[in-house]
Structure 1
Amino acid sequence: MTELKVVSVSKVYKKKTALYPCSLQATKGKCVVLCGGNGAGKSTLLKIIAGILFPSSGTISINGLEMNSSRETYLAQIGFMPDDFNAQEMMTVEEFLHFYGSLRRVGKDRISEVMDLIGLVDKKRELVKSLSKGMRQRLLFGQSILANPTVLLLDEPTNGLDPYWVNQFVEILNQLKKSGTIIVFSTHMMDVAAEVSDVILFMKQGNIIQTITNKNNIEETTMKLMKLHRQ
Structure 2
Amino acid sequence: MSINVISVSKKYTTEKVLDTVSFSAEKGQIIGFLGPNGAGKSTMMRILTGYLKPDSGAIFVDEIDVLKNAIQAQRVIGYLPEHNPLYEEMYVREYLQFQAAIFKVEKSQIENCIAEVGLTKEAHKKINQLSKGYQQRVGLAAAILHKPTVLILDEPTTGLDPNQLVAIRALIKALGKDKTILLSTHIMQEVEAVCDRVIIIKKGAIVLDEKLKELQRNTAQVIDVIFNIQIAVNSFSVFADLNSVINTSGNTWQLTFDHSEDMRSKVFDFAQENGLKILSLNTQSKNLETLFREITQ
Q: CA deviation digits over 1:72-113, x for unaligned, max 9?
A: 221211000010033322211111111112222323332122
* Aligned-pair CA distance for 1:186: 0.2
Q: TM-score by structure 1 length?
A: 0.88
Which ranges in structure 1 are unaligned for 5 or more consecutive residues? none
Does structure 1 conserve the Cα–Cα contact (< 8 Å) formed by 2:7 and 2:22?
yes
Distance in structure 1 (CA, Å) of the matches to 2:36 and 2:70: 31
Change (3 A) 1:171 1:134: closer
Q: How does 1:196-207 map to 2 (within 5 A)?
A: 196-207=194-205
Does structure 2 conserve the Cα–Cα contact (< 8 Å) formed by 1:9 and 1:22?
yes
* Aligned-pair CA distance for 1:158: 1.2
Indicate the SS of the match to 1:73: helix
Q: 2:293 matched to 1:229?
A: yes
Match of 1:95 in 2: 94
* Aligned-pair CA distance for 1:127: 2.3
Larger Rg: 2
Does structure 2 conserve the Cα–Cα contact (< 8 Å) formed by 1:101 and 1:107?
yes
Range with bigger deviation, 128-137 or 219-228: 219-228
Distance in structure 2 (CA, Å) of the matches to 1:162 and 1:218: 27
Counterpart residue identity of residue 210, structure 1: L
Does structure 2 conserve the Cα–Cα contact (< 8 Å) formed by 1:194 and 1:218?
no
Distance in structure 2 (CA, Å) of the matches to 1:105 and 1:174: 27
Q: 2:59 matched to 1:60?
A: yes
Change (3 A) 1:211 1:85: same
Match of 2:12 in 1: 13
Does structure 1 conserve the Cα–Cα contact (< 8 Å) formed by 2:49 and 2:73?
no
Change (3 A) 1:136 1:102: same
Distance in structure 2 (CA, Å) of the matches to 1:141 and 1:21: 30
Distance in structure 2 (CA, Å) of the matches to 1:131 and 1:187: 23
Counterpart residue identity of residue 101, structure 2: S
* Aligned-pair CA distance for 1:28: 1.4
Distance in structure 2 (CA, Å) of the matches to 1:47 and 1:227: 26
Counterpart residue identity of residue 168, structure 1: A
Q: TM-score by structure 2 length?
A: 0.70
Match of 1:131 in 2: 130
Indicate the SS of the match to 2:67: coil
Structure number with higher relative contact order (C-alpha < 8 Å, ≥ 6 residues apart): 1
Which ranges in structure 2 are unaligned for 5 or more consecutive residues? 220-284
Task: Name the Cα RMSD after superposition.
Answer: 2.3
Change (3 A) 1:216 1:178: farther
State the identity %: 33
